[in-house]
């Protein structure tokens, strides 16, 4: 009997695996659908790139687990006998045969074997596409549909489609801007910069997926831009500090360096002359003191002693005059020698590099756009390294070179941050606060100003505030909630012009913007009402 049941046992295992596979796929598909729904509702995020890989992962895992559990789960002989009895219409023969005794035992066993042999496992346990299999397909379809609907513009109207397309394009721009930050080695970026890079990538994904509307994108962009500027400022400060260190090192380096470049006579001479000059200066000081002493003694002296002292004073004054002449000659000689050294081509090149770097850093700190591109800074760095190879090792030289390279690195990093600041503005069609910075491209943020999240973002009269407004606007328009963003006339600078004087101009600009359809249609009325309310308060 046990042997006769073996083929059925095998068949049951496979069929259970088939069912378990379907159950697992259904559960996995359900999880994927829930995940896709959360992604659509912006409560969760399907990681990108390769979101499909992530979505199919729970289904795949469910398949494997379900099939494994189904195949390896124990099948009791009693349960198998009952099942075969039911499916094969054996009228409880097998079930009874397993526990039977008495006079009919043998007859029953033989009868059961005969009946069992007349059946086929495949007929009793056919491969079927049942409820669970249908459920798996449904769950998979549901997950796919939800994800596709949530990420495709099918359900959007034309305006929303256009907005989605714009946001997607901007998302790609932001991603391109963020890439250098996230791809730079960790040691070259601070933790904050890495975090900013990650945040920018997330922002880019949200834009590309259309998870943000315009207002949200604007607010987020401002937040990130502010952070990028803060990091840029820090980098600038670090650049200037390293430049100062480099200058100090450079001062120490120049004489020695000159000697290494074949001007050893001048250098030694310069050194000797500087020593002589110092000696002359010391002598002059000593003689001045001696002269004062003699003059004091002469006042208290009388007759012959006073005459002798006068002679000594005259002699000393003659020596002092000669000393001064010698100092003047020596100083002139040193100045000429210094000029020669400074006019050496290598030194001039280094100094020029330093000056450029300093000017660039100072300009950036002052809020002006940098004069050098990242590529130029990289070229400068390479040039400096070449110079370093030409110069031999030396402590002072090494200190100088390290400081210079560090400053250059910072400058490059700063360039990345600057790129973020400018790039974000460019990507979203919005200029930075620098008046002479790159012009903003056309887009839905065109002709808008950056809006800080809080009043800390601006100072003086031109404060910016974001206010949530909720209430009954008019009796016939029902309740609504909207975000009112009040931006200052000039961000970051105190305004000295009364707003009423500039209001007509702003209103004209707003009207022109409305005419050019750059203000979203649903906000046109609100813009008009805003200016009307300002005029009403006149």
Partner 1 sequence: MPAEQDALWFRETFEKIRSELGKTIVGQNEIVEGVLVALAANGHVLLEGMPGLGKTLLVRSLSEALHLPFGRIQFTPDMMPADVTGTNILVQSESGARAFEFRRGPIFSGLLLADEINRATPKTQSALLEAMQERAVTVGGTRYALDEPFLVMATQNPIEQEGTYPLPEAQLDRFFFKLLVPFPTKAELAEVVQRTTGVHTAETQPVASGEEILRMRALVREVPVAPEVLDYALSIVVGTHPHQPHAAPFSDRYARLGASPRGAQTLVTAGKIFALLSGRFNLSKEDLRRAAKPALRHRLLLNFEADAEGVTSDRLIEEVLAHVEAGDKDPIKV
Q: Which residues would be at the binding site for partner 1 (CB under 8 A)? A: 12, 15-16, 18-19, 75-76, 78-80, 82-83, 86-87, 91-93, 95-108, 110-111, 125
- Nearer Cβ to partner 1 (11/211): 11
- Nearer Cβ to partner 1 (76/436): 76
- Nearer Cβ to partner 1 (67/337): 67
Minimum distance, C-beta of residue 166 to partner 1, in the bound complex (Å) = 53
- Nearer Cβ to partner 1 (120/321): 120
Minimum distance, C-beta of residue 7 to partner 1, in the bound complex (Å) = 14
Where do we find the tokens 């980098």? 235
- Nearer Cβ to partner 1 (103/155): 103
- Nearer Cβ to partner 1 (14/65): 14
CA dihedral 327, 332, 337, 340 (to 10 degrees): 170
In a 10 Å sphere around its CB, with 0-12 CB exposed, 13-18 middle and 19+ buried, how is residue 66 labelled? buried
- Nearer Cβ to partner 1 (102/471): 102
Minimum distance, C-beta of residue 104 to partner 1, in the bound complex (Å) = 4
Minimum distance, C-beta of residue 136 to partner 1, in the bound complex (Å) = 15
- Round to the nearest angstrom and report the end-to-end CA distance of the chain: 103
Q: What is the per-residue DSSP string for 223-284?
A: HHHHHHHHHHHHHHHHHHHHHHHHHHHHHHHHHHHHHHTT-HHHHHHHHHHHHHHHHHHHHH
Minimum distance, C-beta of residue 71 to partner 1, in the bound complex (Å) = 11
Distance CA 94, CA 100 (A): 10
CB crowding 491-518: b at 16 or more within 10 Å, else e: beeeeeeeeeeeeeeebeebeebbeeeb
Alpha helices in 1-50 (DSSP H): 2-40
Minimum distance, C-beta of residue 113 to partner 1, in the bound complex (Å) = 13
- Nearer Cβ to partner 1 (110/359): 110
Contact assessment for residue 202 and residue 181, using Cβ atoms and an 8 Å cutoff = no
Distance CA 304, CA 420 (A): 87
Q: Which two tokens stand for residue 206?
A: 């949200």
Minimum distance, C-beta of residue 171 to partner 1, in the bound complex (Å) = 48
Contact assessment for residue 427 and residue 174, using Cβ atoms and an 8 Å cutoff = yes
Cis peptide before 49 (omega within 30 of 0): yes
Minimum distance, C-beta of residue 88 to partner 1, in the bound complex (Å) = 11
């Amino acid at each position: 009997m046990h042997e006769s049941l073996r083929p059925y046992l095998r068949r049951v295992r496979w069929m259970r695996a088939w069912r378990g596979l379907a159950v697992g796929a259904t559960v996995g598909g359900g999880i994927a659908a829930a995940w896709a729904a959360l992604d659509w509702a912006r409560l969760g995020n399907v990681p990108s790139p390769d979101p499909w890989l992530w979505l199919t992962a729970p289904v795949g895992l469910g398949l494997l687990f379900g099939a494994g559990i189904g195949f390896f789960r124990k099948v009791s002989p009693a349960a198998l006998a009952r099942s075969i009895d039911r499916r094969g219409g054996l009228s409880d023969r097998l079930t009874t045969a397993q526990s039977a005794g008495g006079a009919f035992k043998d007859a029953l066993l033989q009868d059961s074997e005969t009946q069992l042999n007349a059946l086929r496992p495949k007929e009793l346990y056919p491969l079927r596409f049942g409820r669970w299999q249908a459920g798996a397909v449904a769950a998979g379809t549901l997950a796919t549909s939800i994800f596709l609907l949530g990420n495709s513009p099918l359900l959007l109207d034309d305006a929303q489609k256009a907005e989605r397309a714009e946001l997607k394009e901007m998302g790609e721009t932001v991603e391109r801007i963020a890439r250098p930050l996230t791809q730079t080695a960790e040691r070259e970026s601070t933790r904050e910069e890495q975090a900013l890079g990650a945040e920018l990538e997330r922002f880019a994904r949200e834009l590309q997926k259309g998870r943000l509307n315009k207002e949200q994108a604007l607010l987020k962009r401002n937040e990130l831009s502010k952070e990028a500027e803060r990091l840029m400022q820090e980098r600038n400060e670090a650049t200037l500090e390293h430049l100062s260190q480099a200058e100090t090192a450079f001062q120490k380096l120049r004489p020695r360096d000159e000697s290494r470049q074949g001007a050893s006579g001048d250098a030694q001479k310069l050194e000797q002359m500087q020593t002589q000059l110092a000696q002359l200066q010391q002598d002059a000081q000593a003689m001045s003191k001696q002269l004062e002493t003699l003059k004091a003694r002469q006042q208290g002296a009388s007759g012959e002693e006073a005459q002798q002292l006068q002679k000594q004073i005259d002699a000393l004054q003659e020596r002092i005059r000669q000393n001064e002449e010698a100092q003047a000659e020596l100083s002139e000689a040193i100045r000429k020698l210094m000029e020669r050294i400074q006019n050496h081509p290598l030194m001039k090149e280094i100094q020029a590099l330093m000056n450029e770097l300093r000017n660039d850093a100072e300009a950036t700190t002052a809020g002006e756009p940098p004069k050098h591109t990242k590529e130029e800074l990289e070229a400068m760095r390479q040039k400096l390294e070449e110079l370093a190879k030409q110069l031999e090792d030396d402590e002072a030289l090494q200190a100088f070179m390290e400081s210079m390279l560090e400053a250059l690195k910072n400058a490059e990093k700063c360039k990345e941050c600057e790129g973020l600041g400018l790039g974000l503005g460019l990507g979203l069609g919005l200029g930075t606060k620098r008046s002479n910075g790159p012009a903003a491209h056309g887009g839905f943020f065109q002709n808008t100003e950056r809006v800080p999240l809080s009043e800390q973002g601006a100072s003086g009269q031109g404060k910016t505030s974001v206010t949530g407004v909720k209430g009954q606007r008019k009796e016939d328009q029902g309740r609504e909630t909207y975000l009112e963003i009040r931006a200052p006339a000039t961000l970051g600078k105190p305004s000295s012009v009364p707003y009423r004087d500039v209001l007509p101009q702003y209103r004209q600009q707003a009207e022109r913007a409305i005419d050019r359809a750059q203000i979203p249609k649903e906000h046109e009325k609100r813009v008009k009402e805003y200016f009307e309310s300002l005029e009403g308060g006149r």
